[in-house]
Every structure is written in C-alpha cells, then in structure tokens.
C-alpha cells in the first residue's frame, strides 16, 4: 500500500499537470444530466431521484412546522435542476469572549424563515410562523446555495486521499495548507472527513440529503429523526400536525442516488487563452487550494470507479481571514471555510459563500487569510496575463 506521502506526490503530479477535461466534451452547460455510462438500473435510479428532487412537500407529508422551502429544486435551480442559485440561508450565533454559542435554545444556528401557518391538532390550534434573528445574536451569516453537479465523484473519494492531499499541501507550503474536517458519519457512527457544505460539515451524500430534508424542509428521517423546535421553543411541537417520522428513508435514498449520479458541470471552450490562463493560475498559487484534479477510490459504480475528475478544490478547511463567516461549525472555526470548487463557475449566478461577489474579479479581491499572497500575485499581473487568467476561470 502506498504511504500517504507517496499518494500525495502522485496526487500533486496529477493536479499540477496540464489536463484535458472530460466535461468539456459535453458541450453546452446542461444540468440534471447523469454520468455517462450508467446501467439501465442506475439510469432508472437517477430518474426516480430526480422526481424526488423536484417533489413539493406538503403539511400532510410532514413539511415544517418551520422550514425554508418545500422543494429541493426551488433552491438548486441555476442554470437548471441540480445547480446553484442566489438563494441564501441565514445562520446566527453569539460570540462572547472568543466562545461561540449557536443559540440552539433560540432556534439557532440555522434560521427557518417560513412556517406552515394555522393548524388544529388534538393539542389545540396554533399558527406556525417563520423564525427571526434573535436579539441575542452577535454573529449573523448568509450562505448561498451551491451546485450539486459532480458531487457523487467527491463522495467517492477515500478519506485517505483527503488526508494525503492535506499532507502534500503541508509539505509544499505550510502557510497555505488546508486541513480535513472530521465529523460524525451518522450511518457508521464513526468520524469521517467532511467535504460537503461551506464548512465541510457533512461527510457523505446520504447524510447531506437527510440533513437538508430536515433543516430546509422540516422532513424528519432516520438519520435526523428530531424536529427543529420553532425559535427554540420545543413546547410548540405539541401542535405539530405530523409528529411521526415523515420519511422512512426512501426519499433520502432517492435524493442521494440523484446527487451521486449527477454529471459534473460541462466546461466551456478551451482556447489558447484559456490554456495560458490555467498556467498562470498555477504560477500564482491558486491551484494550491483550488486543486485541479482528484481521483476517486474503487467503486461498485463504474462511472465513479477510480476516475480522475477536475473540481478545482481540495475540499479542505482554510483560514480565510476576513472572508470567514464567523460561524463555528464542527471543527471549522469562524475564519475557516471549505475551498469552494470552481467547476461550474461560468454558470454560477453569484460568488463567495454569501453571494456578495457579482463576478470573478470581485471574488478574488475579497480573498484573505491564507489566500492573501495569491491575491497579491493576481493584482500584480499585467493586463494581458490577468485577462488570460480570467478567461480561464470563466471557462470552468
């Protein structure tokens, strides 16, 4: 078995080489497209998962009692189903003397902005309304909906590979190295590397689906069986019209399969200027965090089996300085964020975790912390080389 160091060297060799991107062969951007080469059974699973993804949950299904939206597709929609959007969710907490309190007792850390309205149950009548930021909150952050294309490939990477990438970054330049976030895998009940969410707080697609069903739509499921207490007041759950578990796991499984089998975003045309821009991208150090290539582990699904893919991310936590959102989540501190993958950049409506950047240049200008030196090198580029770099980024 290869040592972590040898794996890391091999990964760096793949990552920093000039690569031809399979996604570029697909032509125009087209979301909700499955991976190439699926068997008929897997293609059917993808279609079934897509139907669940666009499903609109009702109160009878268990929606709420507080929630953010009633369908996955309402948030993941740009440029089509499975994509990103400008939709933001709000997180909050209280930072006092360096200690972060997620204010669970006040409905934190995620705010559910909608309620199911008036209901009558054996416990009586009640009107559920959306939550508001409590006055005790001193930290408020917004997070943009991310695209889901290709994340089945990310899910198929072994934990050893993530550790190897971190080791390689530390050996290459400790000042910009990222670190894996270890979180609880609710299926195995063991620690695992998180790679989904802005803070890398979720380790698997299955858990990602269950988490989103509960926290965005209020649909309880086997991994997340407890309802969110509206504004932290658990007594109000006495009026919940659907107190039994809302999903027996079938919707979580269907959503997981849909996301697992989504094809990565298609690349734009790779011109000479784009190729030059990718060289400049490496020269100024952007690829140290936005890793161009990663390989999946052995997998029972052929299109996920030992595949080299091109997300332009290491999916590790980095100290982003002022660009951090101030929220402490799992092992991620307030200044730390997971490296955002750049694939699909050309179809992403707004950029950065809070959607505050309307274009690539604004996003680069906001980079801070461990990214300061790369930002400075970008700012020092002459106009022609800067234009080539931006053309490369806009081809992703």
11 pLDDT band (50/70/90 cuts)?
Answer: very low
Q: Which domain holds residue 85?
A: 4-393
Mean pLDDT of 17-46: 63
pLDDT per position as a tens digit, 185-226: 999 999 999 999 999 999 999 999 999 999 999 999 999 999
As beta bridge partners, residue 351 has 357
* Cβ-count burial 297-314 (b if 16+ within 10 Å, e if not): eebebebbeebebbbbbb
Quickly tell me which residue has 């994340």 as its tokens: 151
Q: Tell me phi and psi for residue 183, to 5 degrees.
A: -135, 170
- What is residue 31's predicted lDDT score, i.e. its pLDDT? 53
How many angstroms separate the CA atoms of 185 and 21, rounded? Answer: 32
Residues 255 and 75: beta-carbon distance below 8 Å: no
Rounded distance, CA 242 to CA 123, Å? 12
How does pLDDT run across 240-270, given as a tens digit for each residue? 999 999 999 999 999 999 999 999 999 999 9
| CA of residue 290 relative to chain centroid, distance | 14
So what's the pLDDT on residue 97?
85
What is the share, in percent, of the chain residues with pLDDT greater than 70? 92
Q: Count up the domains in the chain and report the number.
A: 1
The pTM of the full predicted model, rounded to 2 decimals, is 0.91
Tell how far CA 77 is from the center of its chain: 15
Stretch (H or E) spanning 88: strand 88-96
């Amino acid at each position: 078995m290869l040592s972590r160091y040898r794996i890391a060297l091999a990964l760096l060799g793949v990552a920093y080489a000039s690569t031809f991107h399979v996604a570029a062969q697909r032509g125009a951007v087209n979301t909700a497209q499955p991976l190439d080469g699926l068997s008929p059974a897997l293609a059917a699973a993808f279609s079934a998962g897509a139907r669940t993804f666009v499903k609109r949950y009702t109160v009878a299904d268990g929606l709420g009692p507080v929630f953010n939206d009633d369908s996955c597709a309402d948030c993941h929609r740009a440029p089509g189903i499975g994509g990103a959007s400008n939709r933001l969710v709000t997180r909050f907490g209280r930072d006092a003397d360096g200690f972060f309190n997620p204010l669970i007792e006040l409905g934190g850390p995620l705010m559910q902005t909608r309620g199911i309205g008036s209901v009558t149950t054996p416990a009586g009548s009640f009107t559920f309304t959306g939550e508001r930021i409590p006055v005790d909150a001193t930290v408020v952050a917004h997070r943009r909906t991310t695209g889901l294309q290709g994340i089945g490939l990310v899910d198929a990477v072994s934990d050893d590979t993530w550790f190897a990438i971190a080791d390689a970054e530390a050996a290459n330049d400790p000042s910009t190295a990222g670190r894996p976030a270890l979180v609880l895998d609710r299926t195995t009940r063991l620690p695992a590397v998180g790679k989904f969410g802005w803070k890398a707080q979720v380790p698997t697609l299955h858990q990602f689906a269950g988490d989103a069903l509960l926290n965005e739509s209020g649909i309880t499921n086997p991994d997340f069986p407890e309802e969110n207490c509206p504004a932290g007041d658990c007594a109000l759950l006495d009026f919940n019209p659907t107190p039994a578990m809302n999903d027996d796991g079938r919707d979580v499984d269907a959503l997981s399969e849909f996301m697992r089998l989504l094809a990565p975003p298609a690349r734009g045309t790779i011109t000479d200027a784009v190729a030059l821009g990718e060289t400049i991208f490496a020269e100024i150090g952007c690829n140290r965090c936005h890793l161009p290539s990663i390989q999946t582990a052995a997998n029972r699904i052929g299109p996920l089996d030992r595949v080299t893919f091109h997300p332009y991310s290491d999916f590790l936590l980095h100290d982003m300085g002022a660009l951090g959102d101030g929220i402490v989540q799992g092992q991620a501190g307030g200044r730390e964020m997971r490296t955002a993958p750049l694939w699909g950049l050309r179809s992403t409506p707004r950029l950065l975790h809070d959607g505050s950047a309307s274009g690539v240049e604004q996003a680069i200008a906001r980079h801070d912390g461990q990214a300061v030196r790369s930002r400075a090198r970008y700012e020092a580029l002459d106009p022609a080389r800067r234009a080539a770099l931006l053309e490369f980024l806009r081809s992703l």
